[in-house]
Amino acid sequence: MADGPPVVVLPPAPDGGRQVTVRGERVGTAFTLFDVLDFVHRAGLPVESTAVDDPELIEWRGGGPYDWNGSS
């Protein structure tokens, strides 16, 4: 998957949850930024304080790391 970042976070659903994929596989629904970081950690990827802003690690679709309300 050298074509993009290994983690993709999809836009918020009406319930505020965001689907997360790691290396093209759906790993679950995140309801907070901490959930995303947990998925990243479980996948064995680096989790640093700057990880959420690293476009080579995480692609945020339909809003950034602080958009969770489902209305954006």
The pLDDT tens digits of the residues spanning 27-45 come to 999 999 999 999 999 999 8
Contact 23, 1 (CB under 8 A): yes
pLDDT value of position 53: 86
Predicted local confidence at residue 60, as pLDDT: 96
User: What pLDDT shows up at residue 1?
Assistant: 43
Ramachandran assignment for 56, one of left (phi > 0), alpha (psi -120 to 50 degrees), beta (any other): alpha
In a domain, 2, yes or no: no
Contact predicate 70/15, CB 8 Å: yes
Rounded to whole angstroms, the Cα distance separating 39 from 8 reads 11
Asked if the structure places residue 71 within a domain, the reply is no
Structural domain containing residue 50: 7-60
Is 68 a member of any domain?
A: no
**Contact assessment for residue 5 and residue 55, using Cβ atoms and an 8 Å cutoff:** yes
Residues of the chain with pLDDT under 70: 1-2, 49-50, 70-72
- pLDDT of amino acid 58: 93
Does 69 reside within a domain?
A: no
Whether pTM > 0.85 for this model: the answer is yes
